Amino acid sequence: MNTSFQNWLSARRSGVLAHVSSLPGAFGIGNLGPGARAFVDLLAECGFGCWQICPLGPTGYGDSPYQSFSSFAGNAYFIDLDELVAAGLLAAEECSSLRALPQGEVDYGMLHERFWPVLALAHERFLDSGADLPGCGSFTAFCLRHASWLQVYADFMALKKHFGGRPWYEWPARWRDWSPEIEATLPESAHREAQLHAFAQYVFFGQWERLRAHAAKRGIHIIGDVPIFVAHDSADAWRWREVLRLDSAGRRLASAGVPPDYFSERGQCWGNPLYDWDHLARTGYAWWIERLRAAMQTCDIVRLDHFRGFDTYWEIPGESDDAREGRWLSAPGHAFFGALKRALPEAKLIAEDLGYITAEVVALRRAVGYPGMRILQFAYGHDDNNVNLPHFVPRDSVVYTGTHDNTTTRGWLESLEGEVARKVDAYFGLDGSRSAWPIMRAAFATVAPLVVLPLQDLLDLPAEARMNRPGTADGNWKWRVLPGQLSALLHDQAERLREWHDLFDRKGDPRQRDYSAPPEHVPATATTSETHSVHAH
């Protein structure tokens, strides 16, 4: 296996982390329309080269993009309904209930209640028109291109509604056990619902492809995100049950999670079924390869969630919700990534290698040549040789001030006390300030080829702007930026950010000297004592 560092990060560049849901939009949640295009333009004006998003899949209870109903589908809430108004499929006043939703944060309950009846109206008129939607190409060709998952997902969502929202493993056996004949035998109401979901995916991907083309025109690469596990209640588990450790009734034989850590004294039980790695090995890891192929066709770069789980993973027995009962088991690691590299040799991946990382996990990541992640907020309050300290950051890494699971950097600074607060103040030269800007500047100055800043940090927002609190099921994924905040950022800080890109050679110029060589020195401590989990969403 090629052991050299991936050459797509040979030039220094930067990016911003902001999920689509957080962007300005007219219908209660960020969407793929003008607000997203304006955000791409802002990134380009400030000198950034990447936009990192969270998973794009449809969400259910808890609203987490890391617990999606499908690994392949898009979130219909991200559709810009104004395009359907322009196409004559909706009247402007039919969207008024959605325009009335608050702009400061997402109210998912009200969004769900109001969105689907409006989209159903557009779908009925689409069927009556017999014409394809402008800018989305041929509907028939779209369905053929995505035949491997589209009908399965549409049927799943239709049956889920038909059975009152219950998970698939609680449906009657006739529908619980997927077969190719299910689509032809759906009840009439479910058949119409399935058509609606297929239409939603057609519109979503048509708009996404145009947004991605706009980003490419402005020189912005999109970094996607693939969760390692799939949700138990998902079209993936319903259709491809054989790749998961489920019994004949669809119940989990074992669940994913992590042992006791920084976030929870009891550990975290995520509820995701574990993989049947023996079955996956016998099939050449075909399901995983197709999942990542779809991700690479949607984004330019992919962050591979919970990289440690490809080496060793925490198994919690049966339906237990106590992670302390678990144990570590081995995953196929090298064999899996060898198959992946043969199938997708051009895939650009970032390994999310946070948490308690063993020497074996470090060796696996370096062997496959993926950059890891370093989080500046994790650099303090632990041992003096912490690998997240800016002066210990290796070249084969991507540096973040924080992630979607962290508090904002200003919120973090405001929470520090005593000796840790003094050290952080001295290290970053804060002089009593609690602004995120000195921390972001330090991230720009590291040797890491790519630095990614959460949008909340660019806006220097307090802890109230946090996106997610691991281990909690409610009240997350609601934060949204207001249009005026982005305008002020562009007006007040664009020049400073452009100067940083020039000062720290982060303009993505491939003519710069090669920064892709592996690090010459790695601190003796290869783990952090603060486990960071991006999966307890």
The residues carrying an active-site annotation are 305, 352, 405
Edge-first strand order for the sheet with 268-273 is 268-273, 254-258, 312-317, 327-330
What residue type is 156 in one-letter code? F
DSSP letter string over 26-41?
TTSS--SSHHHHHHHH
Residues 154/155/158/162 CA torsion (nearest 10 deg): -170
What residue type is 341 in one-letter code? K
Contact status, residue 68 vs residue 57, Cβ threshold 8 Å:
yes
Phi and psi (nearest 5°) for 101? -65, 150
Residues constituting the chain? 537
* Neighbouring-strand partners of residue 50: 15, 221
DSSP letter string over 189-246?
HHHHHHHHHHHHHHHHHHHHHHHHHHHHHTT-EEEEEE-SS--SSSHHHHH-GGGB-B
Residue tagged 């486990």 (tokens): 531
DSSP for residue 183: G
What residue type is 243 in one-letter code? V
Spatial distance between the Cα atoms of 439 and 450, rounded to a whole number of angstroms: 15
How far lies 132's CA from each of 34, 87, 208, 423, in Å? 22, 10, 17, 61
Contact status, residue 476 vs residue 62, Cβ threshold 8 Å:
yes
Residues 249/252/254/257 CA torsion (nearest 10 deg): 170
Spatial distance between the Cα atoms of 461 and 459, rounded to a whole number of angstroms: 5
Contact status, residue 274 vs residue 315, Cβ threshold 8 Å:
yes
Spatial distance between the Cα atoms of 44 and 159, rounded to a whole number of angstroms: 43
Q: How many Å is the maximal CA-CA distance in the chain?
A: 69
In terms of C-beta density within 10 A (0-12 exposed, 13-18 middle, 19 or more buried), how is residue 53 classed?
Answer: buried
Residues with Cβ within 8 Å of residue 517, at least 6 apart in sequence: 5, 395
